[in-house]
Structure 1
Amino acid sequence: MNTVQDGRQLNALLAMATVPKMTPLKWRQLLDELAITPTTLIYGNNLSLLDKAMQHHIEVLRRRIAWDKVDLALKWQRESEAHTIICSEHHHWPEGFQSLTSPPLVLFCHGNVQLLSRPQIAIVGSRRASVSGLAVASDIAANLSQHGICVTSGLAAGIDAAAHKGALEHPGRTIAFLGTGPDITYPHRHAKLRLSILEHDGLLVSEFWPGTPPRRHHFPQRNRLIAAISTGTLVVEATINSGTLITANMAADLGRDVFAVPGNIANPVTEGCHFLIQQGAKLVVCAKDILEEIACLPPLTNSAPFRSEEKSKDENLATDKLLDSVEFDVTSVDTIAERSALPVSEVVAALIEYELRDLVAPVPGGYVKLRGK
């Protein structure tokens, strides 16, 4: 892989990417058949060695190039030093894309493009995650990033967002692959999270052109990139027929590790995780389970302690009968009072204190205990 990206070849690839109905796979098959470079295919004048049918085919393809879109892409790149368009020649082009049958021709990157070369774990899951599921994703992401792993996800609501937020505890530790153009935020309520990722030396990546809105078919395309670039994919809460399981299956098909967090067997949102574990995914309860499996770092005994183990004296004091009365599923205040044998007024006061210390979280119907507390 070259360390210097040829600007003329990049422009040729951008031009190729604008041609309707020509997928990256079809382009690469054509290039292999002709044994020529993208630059020659798009700009070359001497095609006399080709038969007339192929010459005509190439001329038709050239006429279908949307040069205005190429200009739009290059304009976007010039708008900021943080905007970069890369192709397979770039020295930070993800090596994992070699496993894809149809890798993108170009990537639009906003932020620290060097992250594409870092060791990565994808964290994905339900958009309608539980409070405890969000806490799990955030906690594991924080611990992975603490140990030098880049956390990759899709900026979606739920588990994706929690994973990005957890990784942000350590700058330069998260990548968000988008199902829109690089200049579009989806969902819109994640505008602040998007900005935070950029402010913390993170990266936003898309194979879609600037200005491209979200479309249903974009997200499976995005997910294949997440699966390919990562050493392994961790699933935190997913229903049995969810897109998350499709991503996990993509990762497995590409020869990547698949990890899953178990949960309540009566909760449909964890059914997909249990299915993956039955199919051979590694059961994960903390980041250490992942780090030991991928074996990309020194033994953890010499590493910094995990966040979930870093408890203050006050937090240790919180492991009392009242806190033990709160479950990871919804527990009513009356049930907590009954189990702890304390007046409801004292229970409410204690729960408020625990909430401020992120030991519990209020939910409709009562409280849930947060993971690792």
Structure 2
Amino acid sequence: MSHPQAVEDWLALSLLPGLGCTLISRLVQWFGSPAAVLNNPAGLRSRPGIGPQLAAVLGDGRRVAAARRRARDELDRLGRLDITLLTPDCPAFPSALRDIPDCPVLLFCRGTLDGLTRPAVAVIGSRAATDYGRRIATSLAADLAAAGTIVVSGAAYGIDAAAHRGALAGGGGTIAVLGCGVDVIYPRTHADLLAAIAAKGLVLSEYPLETRPEAFRFPARNRIISGLARAVVVVEATEKSGSLITARLALDQGREVFAVPGRVDSPKSAGTHRLIQQGAHLVTNAADVLEALAWGGEQVVAGPAVRPIPTLTEPEQKLLAIMEVYPLDIDGLAQASGLPVPELHGLLLQLELKGLIRQVPGQQYERVHCD
């Protein structure tokens, strides 16, 4: 199978020892192309910062030839697996990434590339998310997707997974940026989710096939999550959450940062509250994000219409009025409403059937739909 020579050259460079994406980008900038780097080892000696060890690697003809063979074999393998490899000079390479610090030089892509050219918002947060956080992430992502926005996240437990599922449910596209190879299922329980994303969106990584999910790779991949997006929304985060690293990267990259408020006494929202104190946009729904960004003059689809509240009896209206988005137990509801417990159970069932409240563990109830 034949491949564009430039793609093979980029891949061959990455297979040589001691060359990370920053150094590869610098070398290509100096010499004009990856082929020129591979074919001009003598010119390296005149460049500051190029030590004798690196010069020796690039000057070793047998080692370079072996890297080229490996690159050709890997490209054949990618073709068989229907995985696309993008490099910075590929037309489909996302322009948003070209100008970020430490731009990736390889993007392994499984799925459709269409989402790389559309407006995108990253939705991220805690792996150990609360039910509130997962619910908000799901609905926020669904509404963003319904408005034509690509939702970017990291396919991790908690908020990330909820965001991807919400985007898929909203009928839109989503991009999962992995800290491992695109052929590695991590977390293992997300096999179905990753398959759905690959079928309807894109699974993406800068790491070669079979790369294992080691801890140091995840902070590195966060720059791609924020880099692909025009804004980052942090739904839930502790004060030491890795999501705050992504938020800082977003600011460094010139992206907007949004944060969803939570309970003031919840440690899971301490990080998002700190972001708001530091100037992040407070967001309560997708319309807040879309209106704040305005997409640089591009037409933005209006947010989804509010679902009309079903007809309610007077007792149902009274009970719904005292309910909150935070759970209340039967005793608390009985005390607040003044209703006897048997009548209260019947009203709660009717409100749940009408989709206005939900039961959560511990026989507690919370409001779902608010005006």
| Residues 1:39 and 2:35 are matched in the alignment | yes
- The letter of the residue matching 2:159 is I
What is aligned with 1:370? 368
C-alpha deviation, 1:219, in angstroms:
0.7
What is aligned with 2:310? 313
What is aligned with 2:291? 292
Distance 2:343 2:76 in 1: 62
What is aligned with 2:116? 116
> Does structure 1 retain, via aligned residues, the 8 Å contact 2:143–2:170?
no
User: What secondary structure is seen at the aligned counterpart in 2 of 1:313?
Assistant: coil
State which of 302, 305, 329 in structure 1 corresponds to 2:326. 329
User: What secondary structure is seen at the aligned counterpart in 2 of 1:110?
Assistant: strand
Q: Using a 3 Å threshold, how does the CA distance of structure 1 residues 118 and 319 change in structure 2: closer, same or farther? A: farther
Q: Equivalences for 1:147-158 in 2 at 5 Å?
A: 147-158=147-158
Deviations 1:147-202 (A, max 9, x none): 11111101111111111111113444211111110011211111111122233x21
C-alpha deviation, 1:142, in angstroms:
1.3
Distance 1:317 1:259 in 2: 39
Q: Using a 3 Å threshold, how does the CA distance of structure 1 residues 176 and 372 change in structure 2: closer, same or farther? A: farther
Q: Using a 3 Å threshold, how does the CA distance of structure 1 residues 117 and 321 change in structure 2: closer, same or farther? A: same
Distance 1:208 1:329 in 2: 41
User: What secondary structure is seen at the aligned counterpart in 1 of 2:332?
Assistant: helix
Deviations 1:313-369 (A, max 9, x none): 258999723233433333222212222233334434444554453632413462333
Q: Using a 3 Å threshold, how does the CA distance of structure 1 residues 237 and 211 change in structure 2: closer, same or farther? A: same
What is aligned with 1:70? 71
Distance 1:316 1:258 in 2: 42
| Residues 1:256 and 2:255 are matched in the alignment | yes
Distance 1:222 1:282 in 2: 24
TM-score, length basis structure 1? 0.86
> Does structure 1 retain, via aligned residues, the 8 Å contact 2:237–2:272?
yes
What is aligned with 2:49? none
Count matched residues: 361
Higher mean displacement: 85-94 or 356-365: 356-365
C-alpha deviation, 1:50, in angstroms:
6.5
Q: Equivalences for 1:1-373 in 2 at 5 Å?
A: 7-33=4-30, 35-42=31-38, 44=39, 56-60=56-60, 63=63, 66=67, 70-71=71-72, 73-81=74-82, 83-199=83-199, 201-296=200-295, 303-304=301-302, 306-307=304-305, 309-313=306-310, 320-355=317-352, 357=355, 359-364=357-362, 366-370=364-368, 372=370
Structure 1: gaps spanning 5 or more residues: none
TM-score, length basis structure 2? 0.87
> Does structure 2 retain, via aligned residues, the 8 Å contact 1:180–1:208?
yes
> Does structure 2 retain, via aligned residues, the 8 Å contact 1:227–1:247?
yes
Identity %: 35
Distance 1:136 1:316 in 2: 28
Higher mean displacement: 350-359 or 251-260: 350-359
- The letter of the residue matching 2:74 is A
| Backbone CA RMSD of aligned residues | 2.9
> Does structure 2 retain, via aligned residues, the 8 Å contact 1:131–1:368?
no
Distance 1:215 1:317 in 2: 57
> Does structure 1 retain, via aligned residues, the 8 Å contact 2:88–2:98?
no
Structure 2: gaps spanning 5 or more residues: 47-51
User: What secondary structure is seen at the aligned counterpart in 1 of 2:89?
Assistant: coil
